[in-house]
């Protein structure tokens, strides 16, 4: 058995009286697509924020590639190779698609700001190099048409892809996708499904995904973790989790309630 | 209409996007060089002021327009630069050293002011910088030994390598040269990772940090650079006016700088030059118009601030992108003629930003 790439150990976070995540533990293996499902308020996005360092856990910890990351600031975690997207797209609105993707190369920069001020030879070479790398992502996701357009004018479906592209530009080891299919139509959702599978197979990136669309979840995920009210319900393949009585209960309510 | 077909990454990075731009900016450079022969001394002096304020506005634009951190105390950095320059000149430092020193002193004070910016945002940051402005103004009044307090301070005539820069023409060229270098520096920043980090922080802090951008570090750099530019402007201002007193660097000056930047167009380098140019031209027009207005209006004390206030309100309501936005629209109108549509610049916000992580 290989070592887990990401390990959450007894992770809990409390906001005032609300236990948003309560003693959740899971492991994500390298080159796996791992999905988090659960009704609204189950704590899925909170777990993402805990992994990417936006929140601090009240107790427990997250380890990435054997290193505890749950006390690190977000920018350090990003540099370790964890990229993410957001549920409500968080792009840099007043910049072009290309500039957005280039920000993704930020953690690989090696020039200092005073070199940037004079645009020295090394900055120029780095800029060309960054464009080469970003162009690969643009080709991979078919964004050539939008390369130089402002994000603010793009349709929703394209923004979703741009956000994915920006995360990929970081060349991460692990990608956190927060509801990649929300707001997309069936065809776009299918596209996203193929892309996620490609990310795993072609780029060898481990994916953790929060998703409500069970069709997409069962199509791409290797394993699924179901959560409800901050607690683990079930962990297994998509079929196993969907058949789990606790999961059915969380989504549809209990049998007794139906009787009343 | 010009279609750009990019064939190399060098084209992507270049400062001039096509030969047309190279031509027009070249023409502008020639016009600026020829100005002393074409303009009477008084207008040349006004042009020099536009140059000085453009440097200060570039600084504020970098901070407010590109990094999204509003400062209501930028006159304080102007004062830092001006008094440092005046003091060092009186100690006999050469200009080639005293100007960088003025920029450095202002820049360091920018870092100090930037520290609260790491904790507070928006309105609260504006108040923090406002407070700094007042504190520094008071400090200038008290530090009579260096600043001359309320009586003011006379600045020595500027000489560089024995050449007299006190006359209008030489000083004008000096200001134009320094302003051009500052513009190029800012443009360089904006096309490199540092500038993109600034823009990222402005548009979404949460995703900026998830992309590996160290927020505190880049906000501090933005404050330092912005203050340093204001410091350079302050140093040139000191030589231009040749007399410094604390009230020149009061709250009103800070607000004026911010207004110039907003009128010019937040988030554009052009705006940092359009703003002060517009400001000074309108100022001159008001002075000229005073003679022709009926005395009841013309002699009113608050005439100028009132007019500028109305202009600002007009811009915020009808052209939030400022003069640069207007310029873009006019340009596109002619490029697309006769196909320009009224709603071309309207954006629709078809998505919601509800559950943002703060």
> Contact A88/B214, CB-based, under 8 Å?
no
Shared domain for A200 and A137, answered yes or no, is: no
pLDDT in the model for residue B348: 45
Please enumerate residues of B whose Cβ is less than 8 A from a Cβ of A. Answer: 9-10, 12-13, 185, 188-189, 191-197, 199-200, 202-204, 206-215, 221, 225, 267, 347, 350-357
Report pLDDT digits (tens) over A145-159: 999 999 988 888 899
What pLDDT was estimated at residue B349?
Answer: 44
Say yes or no: A137 contacts chain B, CB-CB below 8 A: no
The pLDDT tens digits of the residues spanning A75-113 come to 999 999 999 999 888 999 889 999 999 999 998 888 889
Block residue for tokens 């380890």 = A63
DSSP conformation class of B302: T
A79, A88, A159 ranked by CB distance to B353: nearest: A88
Quote the DSSP letter at residue B161: T
Residue A202 is predicted with a pLDDT of 92
Instruction: Determine the residue of chain B that is closest to A108 in CA distance.
Output: B212
- SS3 letters for chain A? CCCCCEEEEEEEEEECCEEEEEEEEEEECCCCEEEEECCCCCCHHHHHHHHCCCCCCCEEEEEECCEECCCCCHHHHHHHCEEECCCCCCCCCCCEHHHHHHHHCHHHCCCCHHHHHHCCHHHHHHHHHHHHHHHHHHHHHCCHHHCCCEHHHCCHHHHHHHHHHHHHHCCCCEEEEECCCCCCCHHHHHHHHHHHHHHHHCCCCEEEEECCCHHHHHHHCCEEEEEECCEEEEEECHHHHHHCHHHHHHHHCCHHHHHC
Chain B residue whose CA is closest to A98? B12
Q: Kindly state whether residues A183 and A69 are assigned to the same domain.
A: yes
Domain annotation covers residue A89: no
CB contact under 8 A, A107 and B211: yes
**For chain B, which residues make up each domain, given as ranges?**
39-336
Model pLDDT, residue B355? 40
Q: Does A208 touch chain B (CB under 8 A)?
A: no
Name the A residues in 56-95 with CB < 8 Å from any B CB: 73-75, 78-79, 83-84, 86-95
Which pLDDT belongs to residue B9? 85
Q: Is residue A90 part of a domain?
A: no
For B328, B331, B339, the CA distances from B335, given in Å and listed in that order, are 10, 6, 9
Same domain, A208 and A163: no
Kindly indicate the confidence band of residue A211, based on its pLDDT and cuts at 50, 70 and 90: very high
Q: Are residues A45 and A55 in the same domain?
A: yes
Which residues of chain A lie closer than 8 angstroms to B212, CB-CB? 75, 78-79, 106-107, 170
Does residue A250 sit in the same domain as residue A183?
A: yes
Among A113, A141, A171, the domain-final residue is A171
Q: Per the domain annotation, does A145 fall within a domain?
A: yes
- For residue B163, the model assigns a pLDDT of 79
Partner residue facing A95 (CB), from B199, B209, B355: B199
pLDDT at B333: 84
Contact of A202 with chain B, judged by CB distance below 8 Å, is answered with: no
Nearest to A131 among B12, B221, B267 (CB): B12
Partners of B357 on chain A (C-beta within 8 Å) are: 49, 54, 86
Does residue A131 fall inside a structural domain? yes
pLDDT at A168 over 90: yes
Query: A177 and A256, same structural domain?
Result: yes
Would you state the pLDDT for residue B340?
75
Provide the ipTM: 0.90
CATH number of B39-336: 1.10.3470
Specify whether A7 is located in the same domain as A132. no
**Chain centroid to CA B79: how far?**
15
CB contact under 8 A, B209 and A102: no
Same domain, yes or no: A189 and A165 = no
Question: Chain B neighbours among A 27-56 (CB < 8 Å)?
Answer: 45, 49, 52, 54
- Residues with Cβ < 8 Å from B298, sequence gap 6 or more? B289, B290, B291, B292
Q: What are phi and psi of A6, to 5 degrees?
A: -130, 135
Question: Residue B20's pLDDT is what?
Answer: 85
Q: Which of B194, B347, B351 sits opposite A116 (nearest CB)?
A: B194
Q: Which residues of B touch A99 (CB under 8 A)?
A: 196, 199
Q: Give chain B positions within 8 Å (CB) of A52.
A: 210
pLDDT along chain B (358 residues), means of 10: 77 84 92 92 93 96 93 93 93 92 96 83 86 90 85 83 80 95 95 94 92 93 96 95 90 92 92 94 89 80 86 87 87 80 58 42
In this structure, the answer to whether residues A71 and A199 fall within a common structural domain is yes
Q: What is the pLDDT of residue A257?
A: 53
State whether A77 and A177 are in the same domain: yes
Domain boundary, last residue among A171, A190, A225: A171
Tell whether A114 lies on the interface with B, counting CB pairs under 8 A. no
Question: Range of A165's domain?
Answer: 95-171
Which among A148, A171, A194 is the end of a domain?
A171
Helix segments in chain B, DSSP class H: 9-13, 19-38, 41-60, 74-90, 95-117, 122-142, 144-147, 168-190, 193-203, 205-210, 215-241, 251-264, 269-290, 295-298, 303-318, 322-336
pLDDT > 90? residue A248: no
Query: Cβ(B123)–Cβ(B114) under 8 Å?
Result: no
Residues A162 and A47 in one domain: no
Give domain status of residue A213, yes or no: yes
Residues in chain B within 8 Å Cβ distance of A131:
9, 12-13
Q: Which of B13, B211, B353 comes nearest A103 by C-beta? A: B211
Q: Is residue A125 situated within a structural domain?
A: yes
Nearest chain A residue (CA) to B355: A88
Cα dihedral across residues A58, B218, B222, B186: positive or negative: negative
* pTM for this entry: 0.90
Q: How far is A30 from chain B (nearest CA, A)?
A: 21
Q: Which residue of B has its CA nearest to A155?
A: B350
Report chain B residues whose CB lies below 8 A from the CB of A79: 212
CB pairs under 8 A between A and B: 130
As for how many domains chain A has, the answer is 2
Q: Quick check: B207 and A91 CB within 8 A? A: yes
> Nearest chain B Cα to A168, which residue?
B211
Does residue A87 fall inside a structural domain? no
**Within-domain flag for A88:** no
Q: Is the same domain home to A207 and A258?
A: yes
Judge whether A199 and A205 are in contact, CB under 8 Å. yes
Contact B207 A52 (CB under 8 A): no
Searching chain B, which residue's CA lies closest to the CA of residue A110?
A: B193
């Amino acid at each position: 058995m290989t070592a887990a790439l990401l390990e959450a150990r007894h992770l809990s976070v409390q906001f005032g009286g609300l236990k948003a995540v309560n003693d959740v533990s899971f492991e994500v293996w390298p080159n796996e697509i791992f999905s988090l499902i659960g009704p609204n308020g189950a704590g899925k996005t909170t777990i993402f924020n805990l992994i990417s360092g936006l929140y601090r856990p009240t107790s427990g910890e997250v380890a990435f590639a054997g290193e505890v990351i749950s006390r690190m600031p977000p920018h350090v975690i990003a540099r370790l190779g964890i990229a993410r997207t957001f549920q409500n797209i968080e792009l840099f609105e007043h910049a072009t698609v290309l500039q957005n993707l280039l920000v993704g190369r930020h953690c690989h920069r090696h020039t200092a700001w005073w070199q940037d001020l004079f645009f020295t030879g090394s900055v120029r070479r780095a800029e060309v190099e960054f464009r080469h790398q970003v162009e690969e992502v643009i080709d991979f996701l078919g964004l050539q048409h939008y390369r130089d357009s402002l994000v603010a004018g793009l349709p929703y479906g394209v923004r979703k892809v741009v956000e994915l592209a920006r995360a990929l530009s970081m060349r991460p080891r692990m990608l956190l996708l927060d509801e990649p299919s929300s707001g997309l139509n069936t065809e776009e959702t299918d596209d996203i499904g193929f892309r996620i599978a490609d990310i795993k197979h072609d780029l060898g990136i481990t994916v953790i995904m929060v998703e409500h669309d069970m069709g997409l979840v069962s199509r791409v995920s290797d394993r699924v973790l179901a959560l409800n009210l901050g607690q683990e319900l079930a962990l297994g393949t998509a079929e196993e989790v969907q058949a789990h009585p606790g999961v059915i209960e969380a989504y549809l309510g209990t049998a007794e309630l139906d009787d009343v | 209409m010009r279609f750009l077909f990019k064939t190399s990454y060098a084209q992507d990075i270049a400062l001039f996007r096509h030969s047309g731009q190279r031509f027009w900016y070249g023409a502008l450079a020639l016009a600026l060089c020829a100005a002393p022969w074409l303009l009477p001394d008084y207008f040349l002096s006004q042009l020099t002021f536009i140059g000085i304020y453009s440097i200060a506005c570039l600084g504020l634009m970098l901070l407010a327009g590109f990094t999204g951190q509003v400062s209501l105390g930028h006159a304080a950095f102007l004062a830092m630069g001006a008094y440092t320059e005046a003091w060092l000149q009186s100690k006999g430092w050469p200009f080639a050293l005293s100007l960088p020193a003025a920029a450095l002193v202002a820049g360091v004070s920018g870092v100090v002011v930037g520290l609260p910016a790491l904790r507070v945002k928006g309105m609260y940051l504006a108040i923090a910088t406002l407070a700094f402005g007042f504190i520094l103004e008071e400090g200038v009044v008290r530090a009579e030994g260096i600043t001359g307090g309320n009586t003011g301070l006379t600045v020595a005539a500027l000489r560089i390598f024995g050449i007299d820069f006190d006359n209008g023409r030489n000083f004008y060229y000096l200001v134009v040269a320094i302003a051009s270098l500052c513009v190029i520096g800012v443009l360089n920043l904006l096309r490199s990772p540092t500038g993109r980090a600034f823009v990222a922080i402005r548009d979404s802090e949460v995703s900026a940090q998830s992309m590996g951008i160290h927020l505190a570090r880049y906000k501090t750099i933005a404050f330092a650079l912005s203050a340093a530019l204001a410091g350079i402007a302050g140093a040139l201002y000191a030589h231009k006016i040749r007399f410094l007193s604390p009230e020149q660097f009061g709250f009103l000056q800070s607000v004026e700088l911010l207004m110039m930047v907003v009128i010019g167009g937040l988030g554009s380098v052009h705006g940092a030059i359009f703003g002060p140019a517009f400001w000074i031209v309108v100022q001159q027009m008001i002075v000229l118009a005073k003679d022709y207005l009926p005395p009841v209006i013309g002699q009113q004390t608050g005439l100028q601030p009132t007019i500028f206030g109305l202009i600002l309100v007009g811009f915020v309501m009808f052209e939030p992108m400022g003069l640069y936005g207007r310029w873009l629209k006019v340009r596109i109108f002619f490029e697309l003629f006769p196909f320009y549509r009224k709603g071309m610049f309207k954006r629709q916000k078809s998505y919601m930003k509800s559950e943002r992580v703060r």
